[in-house]
Amino acid sequence: MLLAVFLSYTPILIAQDVKTLLKQVKDKYDKVNDYTADGKMKTNVLFIKAPIAQVKVYYKKPDKLKIRNEKGVSFIPKGSVNININNVLALDNYEAIDGGKEKVNGTECRVVKIFPISDDENITRATLHIDENQQVVIKSVISTKENGTYELVMSYKNYISYGLPDKAVLTFNTKEFKLPKGISIDYDNGTDKDKKDKEKQKKGKVEITYSKYSINKGVSDSVFAN
Amino acid sequence: MFFAILRIELFKIFKRPRTFISFGAIAIIVLLVQLALKVNGKDFIELYTDSQSDTFYIPYDKMVNGYFVCVAVLHMILIHVPLLIALIAGDMISGEANLGTLRLLGSKPVTRTELILAKFSASSVYVILLLIWMAFLALFGSILLFGKGDLVVFKEMDWHQMNDYDVLWRFFAAFIFAALALTTIAAMAMMFSVFSENSLGPIVATVCVVIVFTIIQQLKVPMFEQTINPWSFTTHMLGWKGFFYVEKSADGTTIDGSIENPTALVRSAMILIGYIVLFLGVTIWYFRKKDILS
Amino acid sequence: MSPIITVSNLTKDFKEVKAVDNLSFQVNEGEVYGFLGQNGAGKSTTIRMLLSLIEPTSGEIEIFGLNLKAHRKEILKQTGAMIERPDLYKYLTAFENMKLFARLSSVKLKDATIKDQLAKVGLADRANSKVKTYSQGMKQRLGLACALVHNPGLLILDEPSNGLDPQGIADMRKMIQHLSKVEGKTLVVSSHLLSEMEMVADSMLIINKGRKVVEGSVSALLNPEKTEVELITHSANALSFIQNSNWNQFLNQAVGERICLEIDKKCIPVFNKELVENGIEVQSLRPLHSLEEYFLSQTKA
């Protein structure tokens, strides 16, 4: 009986625990009102061949984020800006379930599954892997209505006290790219045949290595305007 | 003696008003493309990026820079330049026959081989000058109008992006390759020219051959892709584009200064050189034994 | 006089047509050599073979004592030519054309020299006009100037008077005579203007259907010991008189009132006397000795 009671109450108890954990994480992130950071962005998308880009990342509470390549051209995945952990932590009405523990890149993490209750949210489901000791999110998998699923893996070092990563790797769904026939006559250097085999590989990856965070020094709203 | 004839041939080419039609036509086309991209650059890029605009932010303004415009110009006009080359090279021998001056040349103390080589070299110089003119307008003109920046080139299944400091050498290499490709056209037009006694025939024949092989190439039918296309000069003439296709490392980022599959480019260049030698060989062989009756 | 051109057994076949058939002739230094033949006789083909524009099917050509095939460059350096219409580069000026042909002949001339040469053919004041603005006569003179630009020893002129007006023809004749008699050049001239050829040529070759008909000095060909004599008479018994006399052996042909005989020049007065004494009315009795008549008689045969 006791066991039955324990078992029936366990999720609620655990839900309360994970919400506390999420609150602790949110509080940590809340210490940062805004930041700017320099970063090196590597793009690994099947059809994009891009060099390492020097980017500048801007953040402003509660959920404004902008990645800009000040000098050159970069193709920033829309999800990396629209969908971030702050979107998840800023949710008011959600259910959280403890998904147990899992190791991510050698760090023991608590897995928290989050389901927004409101139908209006773009996020349909999120799974956060939280380092309970440091109270930071190591990995998040966020499913959205419009942009598919995004996976974000972060590693921390110098700015862990602010919950800011030194490196973030975003994995996202990509669509196949193929120019319509007749739009151009290409030079066939024999490499397209290999790509046809890899077409199924539809995940793209963007890796940003951060440096020079400038935290809580104020960021103008105009930065986030398109 | 060869250089004396070459100078004479160049003198003749650049004394003819028709030579400057090509230079004028290129200037007009380049300016029109530049104007179009200045006004509708975003729409032009959207043609290529439309399917990805949900997934990525496309920095249209930064992409429409001088380098991108120059590639677009080359893309659009290099396919049509053979006509302008044929206009001069196709007239090299048949035009003289038509004018009645071939018999004067043939009765001068120069060998027929020297004459053909000088005429071919003069056509090649014309090709190079036309390309320099094109480079001047399309590259430097576009840089002046649109500024510099990273270059993004769209291939059938890839986007190739290059840092701005890694672009200029590619243009020079591409122009050199384009010169080789267009010299192939000049050699072919001259070959047709030696068989004819009027200018129109070789010009039309050259353009027809280019059109036919380009259509075969565009059809992308396996039957042709495995037989004709690997050896068709129109396939390899597009090799200049290869200098704008970059190689990427294992982590997915591009390597500065790299070319995707340089072996294919070398092969294309060798095939084009092979065609030039073949066309020139046939021209010399036929012209040496040709009875000049015009 | 040493031979400048020696042609031996020259033949040219164009598919099934024999344009030149086993032709041999010789052109001596300093002479004007007339080259005669009807249209399609093979004159231009032969001239083009002399200039290596056409490859002979068989036969040998020696110019300046050198084989043309083996020493083409050396020979052409000393040869000037004007072939049919002198179609020069119309989009260039006379001066530019001259300079261009001088360079092609391995000669570098000063601008002043070119202008002098243009002055010799009366084109000094039009030296900087484009050739497309020239009249046919001016083009012809410029063509000759271009052929002479490198001061060749041998000049080959194919129909040099073609398209010229009477004054132009006379000017061309004077130039040919000047080049031969004053400058000592050897000239091969083909023309269909027979009276002109009669006036300028020292020797001549008549060809018909690619074959040599006759070759020799003009004086010898036009003033032979025996000549064809044409008698025009209204007398109906003229032919029977001749046929019944010793003159019958000299009778060539008789058509209507025209009777031709080939007799010794010295016998013409005797023949005339006999005709009159026998009551035959002589309307005309004359030797056929003009080049035109000679040419027609030879080529008809």
Cα–Cα distances (Å) from C125 to B107, C115, C134, C197, in that order, read 28, 9, 12, 31
Residue in B with minimal Cα distance to C56: B291
Q: What is the DSSP letter of C183?
A: T
Does the pLDDT of residue A1 top 50, yes or no?
A: no
Mode of pairing for the β-strands spanning C251-255 and C211-217:
unpaired
**Quick one: closest CA in A to B165, which residue?**
A72
Q: Is the pLDDT of residue C100 over 60?
A: yes
SS3 A186: coil
Task: Write out chain C residues lying below 8 Å of B1, CB-based.
Answer: 106
Res B67 pLDDT > 50: yes
Both tokens of C262, joined, read 């080939």
User: In this complex, which of B158, B229, B238 lies closest to A47 when CB atoms are compared?
Assistant: B158
Measured in degrees and rounded to the nearest 5, phi and psi for residue B270 equal -65, -40
Confidence of residue C24 (pLDDT cuts 50, 70, 90): very high
Q: What is the mean pLDDT of chain A?
A: 80
Joined together, the tokens standing for residue B246 give 């970059």
The predicted structure's pLDDT at residue B113: 95
What is residue B230's predicted lDDT score, i.e. its pLDDT? 86
Task: Give the mean model confidence (pLDDT) for residues C95-120.
Answer: 91
Question: A143 vs A128, A150, A175, A208, B91, CA distance in Å?
Answer: 12, 6, 16, 21, 67
Chain-chain contact of B105 with C105 (C-beta, under 8 angstroms): no
Least confident of A9-13, A79-83, A168-172, A175-179: A9-13
A2-177+191-213 CATH, one of 3.40.50, 1.20.120, 2.50.20, 2.60.120: 2.50.20
Mean pLDDT check: name the lowest of B246-250, C43-47, C221-225: C221-225
Query: Judged by CB atoms within 8 Å, which residues 157-196 of A form the interface with B?
Result: 172-175, 177-179, 181-192, 195-196
Q: Which of B103, B114, B119, B294 to probe by mutation at the C interface, max C CB count within 10 Å?
A: B103
Coil/strand/helix, residue C140? helix
Nearest CA distance, B122 vs chain A (angstrom): 28
**Nearest Cα residue in chain A from B62:** A73
Exposed (0-12), middle (13-18) or buried (19+): which is A75, by Cβ within 10 Å? buried
Q: Residue A198 pLDDT more than 80?
A: no
SS3 state at A66: strand
- Domain range holding B218? 2-289
* Residue A97 token pair: 């379930």
The residues pairing with C5 across neighbouring beta strands, listed in sequence order, are C27, C63
Which H or E run includes C7?
A: strand C3-14
Is the CB of residue B162 less than 8 Å away from at least one CB of chain A? yes
Helix, strand or coil, per DSSP, at residue C284: strand
Mean pLDDT of C26-34: 91
Number of domains in chain B: 1
pLDDT over threshold 80, residue C53: yes
Per-residue pLDDT, C47? 93
Residue B99 CA: distances (Å) to CA of B69, B104, C21, C141:
42, 10, 30, 18
Please say if the pLDDT value at position C56 is more than 90.
yes
Chains near B with 3+ CB pairs less than 8 A apart are A, C
Nearest to B73 by CA among B35, B130, B42: B35
Q: Residue A182 pLDDT > 70, yes or no?
A: no
Output the pLDDT for position A83.
59
User: Has residue B294 been placed in a domain?
Assistant: no
Higher pLDDT, B199 or B174: B174
Residue-level length of chain C: 301
Mean pLDDT of all residues in chain C? Answer: 87
Cα dihedral across residues C144, C146, C151, C155: positive or negative: negative
**Angle between helices B200-219 and B81-89 in degrees, nearest 10:** 150
Helix (H) / strand (E) containing C282: strand C282-287
CA-nearest residue of chain C to B5?
Answer: C104
Give the three-class secondary structure for B170.
helix
- Residue A226 banded pLDDT, cuts 50, 70, 90: low
Closest partner residue to B110 (CB to CB) among C75, C79, C104 is C104
Q: Is the dihedral of CA B17, B19, B21, B26 positive or negative?
A: negative
Least confident of A204-213, C13-22, C213-222, C236-245: C213-222
Q: DSSP character for C180?
A: I
* Touching partners of C (3+ C-beta pairs < 8 Å): B
Other beta carbons within 10 Å of C256: 7
Q: What is the 8-class DSSP label of residue B127? A: H
For an interface test with A, which of B55, B79, B165 has the most A Cβ atoms less than 10 Å from its Cβ? B55
Question: Measuring CA to CA, how many Å separate B240 from each of A186, B178, B236, B237, C210?
Answer: 10, 6, 9, 7, 57
Secondary structure (3-state) at B147: coil
**Structure tokens that stand for A92 in this block:** 């008011």
**C-beta separation of C268 from C182 below 8 A:** no
pLDDT score recorded for residue A9: 39
What pLDDT is attached to residue A117? Answer: 82
Residues near A27 by beta carbon (within 8 Å), at least 6 away in sequence: none
- Whether B58 and A75 lie within 8 Å, measured CB to CB: yes
Backbone dihedral angles phi then psi of residue B149, each to the nearest 5 degrees: 170, 180
> B94 is written with which tokens?
């048949």
User: What residue segments make up the domains of chain A, in order of their start?
Assistant: 2-177+191-213
pLDDT: which is higher, B265 or C121: B265
User: Of all residues in chain C, what percent carry a pLDDT higher than 70?
Assistant: 94
Contacts of A189 in chain B (CB under 8 A): 242, 245, 260-261, 264-265
Three-state secondary structure string covering B21-69: HHHHHHHHHHHHHHHHHHHHHHHHHHHHHHHHCCCEECCHHHHCCHHHH
Residue A182's Cβ-count burial label (10 Å; 0-12, 13-18, 19+) is: exposed
Mean pLDDT taken over chain B: 91
Question: From CA C99, how far away is CA C72, in angstroms rounded?
Answer: 22
Tens digit of each residue's pLDDT (9 = 90 or more) over C130-171 = 999 998 888 888 998 999 999 999 999 988 887 788 888 888
If 0-12 CB within 10 Å is exposed, 13-18 middle and 19+ buried, where does residue A87 land?
A: buried
| Model pLDDT, residue C155 | 94
Is the separation of the CB atoms in C17 and C39 below 8 Å?
no
Residue A135 pLDDT level (bands cut at 50, 70, 90): confident
- Whether the Cβ atoms of residue C173 and residue C200 lie closer than 8 Å to each other: yes
Domain at C223-300: CATH architecture: 2-Layer Sandwich (3.30)
- Residue B146 phi, psi dihedral angles, 5° rounding: -115, -10
A44 part of contact set with chain B, CB < 8 Å: yes
Q: Which of residues 85-104 of B touch C (CB under 8 A)?
A: 99-101, 103-104
List the single residue in B with minimal CA-CA distance to C52. B107
Tell me the pTM.
Answer: 0.83
- Predicted confidence (pLDDT) at residue A55 exceeds the cutoff of 60: yes
- Measured between beta carbons, the chain B residues lying within 8 angstroms of A72 are 62, 149-150, 163-164
| Residue of B79, B69, B84 lying closest to B30 (CA atoms) | B69
Lowest mean pLDDT among B99-103, B129-133, B225-229: B225-229
Task: Report yes or no on B263 lying in a domain.
Answer: yes
Tell me the chain B residues in contact with residue A192 when contact means C-beta distances shorter than 8 Å: 155-157
Place of tokens 């603005």: C133
Residue B50's Cβ-count burial label (10 Å; 0-12, 13-18, 19+) is exposed
Contacts of B107 in chain C (CB under 8 A): 51-53, 76, 79, 81, 83
Please indicate if any CB of chain B lies within 8 Å of the CB of C98: no
Mean of pLDDT values over A212-222: 87
> What does the pLDDT average to over B88-97?
92
In the numeric block, the tokens 């072919």 are attached to B188
CA distance C247 to C238: 11
Q: Is the pLDDT of residue A6 over 60?
A: no
C-alpha distances (whole Å) from C289 to each of B173, C200, C229, C301 are: 77, 16, 9, 16
Give the pLDDT confidence of C245-291 residue by residue, as tens digits: 988 988 888 888 889 888 887 888 889 999 999 989 999 988 776 66
The reported pLDDT for the residue numbered A194 is 60
Position A14 scores a pLDDT of 53
Alpha carbons B99 and B78: distance in angstroms, whole number: 30
CA distance B79 to chain C (A): 30
Give the number of residues written for chain B.
Answer: 294
Nearest CA in chain B to C88: B101
Asked if B3 reaches chain C (Cβ–Cβ under 8 Å), the answer is no
Judge: C76–B108 Cβ closer than 8 Å, yes or no. yes
Which are the contacts of C36, defined by CB distance < 8 A and separation ≥ 6?
Answer: C43, C190, C191, C192, C194, C197, C204, C205, C206, C207, C295
Tell me which chain B residues have a C-beta less than 8 angstroms from the C-beta of A81: 57
| Residue closest to A89 by CA, chosen among A61, A67, A69, A109 | A61
Residue C180 has pLDDT above 70, yes or no: yes
What does the pLDDT look like over B18-65, one tens digit per residue?
A: 889 889 999 999 999 999 999 998 998 888 888 888 888 899 989 999
Share of chain C above pLDDT 90, in %: 36
Residue B124 has pLDDT above 70, yes or no: yes
pLDDT digits (tens, 9 = 90+) for B173-185: 999 999 999 999 9
CB spacing of B218 vs A185 below 8 angstroms: yes
Q: What angle do CA C65, C71, C77 make, to 5 degrees?
A: 90
A1 or C68, which is more confident: C68
pLDDT at C225 over 80: no
Sheet holding C258-264, edge to edge: C251-255, C258-264, C226-233, C282-287
Residue-level pLDDT at A181: 65
Type and span of the H or E element at A140? strand A136-144
Of B48, B55, B254, the CB nearest to A49: B254
**Residue in C151, C141, C296 with CA at minimum distance from that of residue C228:** C296
Share of chain A above pLDDT 90, in %: 13
- Of the listed ranges A210-219, B127-136, B170-179, the least confidently predicted one is A210-219
The reply to whether residue A51 touches residue B166, judged by beta carbons under 8 angstroms, is yes
So what's the ipTM on this one? 0.83
Cis peptide before C56 (omega within 30 of 0): no
Cross-chain residue pair B107–C101, CB shorter than 8 Å? no
Residues 173-232 of C with CB under 8 A from B: none
**A178 → closest Cβ in B59, B157, B238:** B157
Residue type at C199?
M
Mutate: best of B21, B107, B287, B294, partner C, most C CBs <10 A: B107
Q: What is the pLDDT of residue B90?
A: 92
Name the band, by pLDDT with cuts 50, 70 and 90, for residue A13. very low
DSSP per-residue letters across B134-146? HHIIIIIIHHHHH
| Residue B81 dihedral angles phi and psi, to the nearest 5° | -65, -30
pLDDT band at A10 (very low <50, low <70, confident <90, very high): very low
Class of domain C3-216: alpha beta
Nearest-by-CA chain A residue for B215 = A185
For testing contact with chain A, the best of B47, B52, B219 (most A CBs within 10 A) = B52
Lowest mean pLDDT among A159-173, B110-124, B140-154, B174-188: A159-173
How many distinct helices (H) and strands (E) make up chain C?
Answer: 11, 14
For residue B4, the chain C residues in CB contact (below 8 A) are: 103-104, 106
